[in-house]
């Protein structure tokens, strides 16, 4: 039940954001329940079963992704009091495996500087900030104070909060903001540690398609380094290093924008030098993606998650996040490109498995006939042969590869995809409210957020106007992360 203390906290929150107490309501507040009660929470008609959603109300951008002592922390833009966007607060969830999430109480709430817009988080291993007070390393969160939404409107600025108890409680820095207004709605700070120069580097969105790099030695004081133009992109930058083809002696920096455009280049601690123009990385309802910081070197992965926009009629929640994905850089004829595949931990959800070796696909012959279910993972390699089209039927939704056009098509989304040695690979995830497609080991990816047909739970695979050949095909039914 809602306690008197919680009600007072809600009243204080509403006063801070200028809503007074007229909007004070008394619904059940956030529970940290990890296992839903049968037939109720997390089992609603359009509740995703292995994609993260808040227990209640609105979410959008993932924020503050950081790993510390066995836990992946995921903060997110959240409206604690409504089903639509507003009252931006940092919600909070943790996971030990990137798949099963436990929602915690909200972490950072609005104040006189504004509501809490997007940002990032790091572990300050060397206590450069001087904010550590106990035995635990301090985790520092960087966020935008959205002053236009304060009770007394003011410009957007950048602030920090910190935790000395493994992210369970957060204290705002007494001298916020740490970066005053620069221009427009400057926002969405992404901070990394640059080991060669022992310096913190921040990527900050400025305006239009302009971004800014800044540096700091102590997290509290920041100096501008360089403006960067990422043509056609805006908001939610990320800035990270990856080996090319897995070679640690050959690395590049990726400068990423919120709509999925990115540039590949180098960074010397002072200046980013692009080697490419802006490249569009994704197709579909996927935005504001961010990668986790502080994943141990023994793991070595760069893991990303994004917001997949959608509609969820009649549900107590609104919006969902993608499956976490591993990012790599690989070399193609057109140059170095970013690739994306689901994290290996998805295997934990697999139940029944169906497999096929080399099999010819013929018109009106479907080897998946008779398989039905709600949640699926599909991995396939298809030799195109003489077929004009190959693809899958995913609970009534067609996914089609047009051979002549070298184009992958699903609903209203298209992605260019060149075959390799006359073959294509498709890795597909099917949830109640989305389909995610990763082609040719992540060279192309598509994210489609929509409510799948509740009645049609069938699968199909096909070749049209010619024959194709399945080299290998694996289908798994998946279980919910909420049970």
Per-residue pLDDT of the chain (483 residues; tens, 9 = 90+): 333 333 334 444 444 444 333 222 222 333 333 444 455 789 899 999 999 999 999 999 999 999 999 999 999 999 999 999 999 999 999 999 999 999 999 999 999 999 999 999 999 999 999 999 999 999 999 999 999 999 999 999 999 999 999 999 999 999 999 999 999 999 999 999 999 999 999 999 999 999 999 999 999 999 999 999 999 999 999 999 999 999 999 999 999 999 999 999 999 999 999 999 999 987 777 899 999 999 999 999 999 999 999 889 899 999 999 999 999 999 999 999 999 999 999 999 999 999 999 999 987 779 999 899 999 999 999 999 999 999 999 999 999 999 999 999 999 899 999 999 999 999 999 999 999 999 999 999 999 999 999 899 999 999 999 999 999 999 999 999 997
pLDDT at 14: 42
Determine whether 61 is an active site residue: yes
CATH number for the domain including 465? 2.60.120.560
State the catalytic residue, choosing from 12, 61, 210, 218: 61
Residues 118 and 173 in one domain: yes
- Distance of alpha carbon 374 from alpha carbon 115, whole angstroms: 38
Number of neighbours of residue 265 by Cβ within 10 angstroms? 17
Instruction: Tell me if 21 sits within 8 A of 15, measured CB to CB.
Output: yes
Which distant-in-sequence residues (6+ apart) come within 8 Å of 39 by Cβ? none
190 in any annotated domain: yes
Residues 45 and 166 in one domain: yes
pLDDT at 146: 98
416 in any annotated domain: yes
Domain boundary among 305, 322, 342: 342
Residues 363 and 266 in one domain: no
C-alpha radius of gyration, the chain, whole number: 23
Beta strands 444-449 and 283-284 are parallel
Residues 360 and 239 in one domain: no
Residues 313 and 381 in one domain: no
For residue range 237-266, list pLDDT tens digits in order.
Answer: 999 999 999 999 999 999 999 999 999 999
Nearest CA among 181, 182, 164 for reference residue 173: 164
Domain boundary among 290, 316, 342: 342
DSSP designation for 114: B
CATH number for the domain including 283? 2.115.10.20
Residues 236 and 187 in one domain: yes
Residues 355 and 304 in one domain: no
- Distance of alpha carbon 160 from alpha carbon 179, whole angstroms: 10
Which distant-in-sequence residues (6+ apart) come within 8 Å of 26 by Cβ? 2, 7
Residues 328 and 366 in one domain: no
Residues 407 and 324 in one domain: no
7 in any annotated domain: no
Burial class (CB in 10 A: 0-12, 13-18, 19+), 210: middle
8 in any annotated domain: no
Domain range for residue 463?
345-478
Nearest CA among 230, 152, 155 for reference residue 186: 155
- Distance of alpha carbon 41 from alpha carbon 242, whole angstroms: 39
- Distance of alpha carbon 400 from alpha carbon 297, whole angstroms: 39
CA pseudo-torsion sign 34, 39, 41, 46: positive
Mean pLDDT, the chain, rounded, equals 91
Residues 355 and 337 in one domain: no
Number of neighbours of residue 385 by Cβ within 10 angstroms? 16
- Distance of alpha carbon 82 from alpha carbon 75, whole angstroms: 18
Residues 49 and 190 in one domain: yes
37 in any annotated domain: yes
Instruction: Name the strand (E) or helix (H) holding 466.
Output: none
Nearest CA among 19, 93, 42 for reference residue 63: 93
H helices, E strands: number in the chain? 1, 36
Q: Domains in the chain: how many in total?
A: 2
Residues 296 and 316 in one domain: yes
Instruction: Tell me if 439 sits within 8 A of 338, measured CB to CB.
Output: no
pLDDT at 438: 97
319 in any annotated domain: yes
Domain boundary among 296, 326, 342: 342
pLDDT at 172: 98
pLDDT at 17: 41
444 in any annotated domain: yes
**Cα 136–141–143 angle (5° rounding)?**
170
pLDDT at 39: 55
pLDDT at 284: 76
Written as six digits, the tokens of 30 are 């956030």
């Amino acid at each position: 039940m809602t306690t008197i203390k919680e009600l007072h906290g809600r009243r204080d929150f509403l006063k801070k954001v200028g809503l007074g107490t007229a909007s004070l309501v008394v619904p059940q507040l956030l529970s940290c329940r990890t296992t839903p009660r049968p037939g109720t929470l997390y089992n609603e008609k359009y509740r995703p079963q292995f994609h993260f959603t808040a227990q209640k109300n609105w979410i959008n951008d993932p924020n503050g992704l950081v790993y510390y002592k066995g836990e992946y922390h995921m903060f997110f833009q959240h409206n604690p009091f409504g089903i639509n966007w507003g009252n931006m607060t940092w919600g909070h969830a943790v996971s030990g495996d990137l798949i099963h999430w436990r929602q915690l109480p909200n972490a950072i709430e609005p104040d006189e500087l504004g509501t809490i817009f997007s940002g990032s988080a790091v572990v300050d291993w060397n206590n450069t900030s001087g904010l550590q007070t106990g035995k635990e390393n301090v985790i520092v969160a960087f966020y935008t104070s959205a002053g236009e939404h304060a009770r007394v409107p003011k410009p957007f600025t950048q602030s920090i909060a910190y935790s000395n108890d493994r992210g369970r409680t957060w204290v705002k820095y007494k001298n916020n903001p740490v970066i005053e207004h620069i221009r427009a709605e400057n926002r969405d700070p992404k901070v990394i540690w640059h080991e060669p120069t022992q310096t913190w580097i921040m990527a900050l969105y400025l305006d239009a398609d302009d971004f800014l790099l800044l540096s700091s030695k102590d997290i509290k004081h920041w100096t501008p380094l360089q403006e960067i133009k990422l043509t056609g992109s805006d908001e939610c930058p990320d800035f990270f290093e990856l080996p090319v083809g897995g070679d640690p002696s050959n690395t590049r920096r990726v400068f990423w924008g919120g709509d999925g455009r990115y540039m590949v280049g180098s960074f010397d601690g002072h200046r980013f030098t692009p080697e490419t123009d802006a490249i569009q990385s994704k197709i579909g309802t996927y935005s504001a993606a961010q990668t986790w910081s502080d994943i141990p070197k023994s793991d070595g992965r760069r893991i990303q998650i994004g917001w997949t926009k959608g509609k969820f009629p009649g549900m107590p929640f609104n919006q969902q996040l993608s499956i976490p994905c591993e990012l790599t850089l690989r070399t193609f004829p057109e140059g170095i490109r970013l690739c994306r595949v689901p994290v290996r931990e998805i295997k934990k959800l697999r139940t029944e498995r169906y497999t096929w070796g080399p099999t010819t696909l013929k018109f009106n012959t479907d080897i998946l006939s008779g398989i039905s279910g709600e949640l699926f993972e599909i991995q396939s390699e298809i030799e195109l042969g003489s077929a004009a089209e190959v693809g899958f039927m995913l609970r009534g939704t067609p996914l089609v590869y047009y051979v002549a056009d070298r184009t992958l098509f699903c609903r209203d989304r298209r992605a260019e995809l060149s075959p390799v040695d006359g073959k294509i690979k498709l890795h597909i995830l099917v949830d109640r409210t989305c389909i995610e497609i990763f082609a040719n080991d992540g060279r192309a990816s598509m994210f489609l957020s929509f409510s799948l047909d509740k009645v049609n739970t069938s699968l199909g695979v096909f070749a049209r106007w010619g024959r194709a050949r399945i080299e290998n095909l694996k289908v798994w039914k998946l279980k919910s992360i909420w049970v």
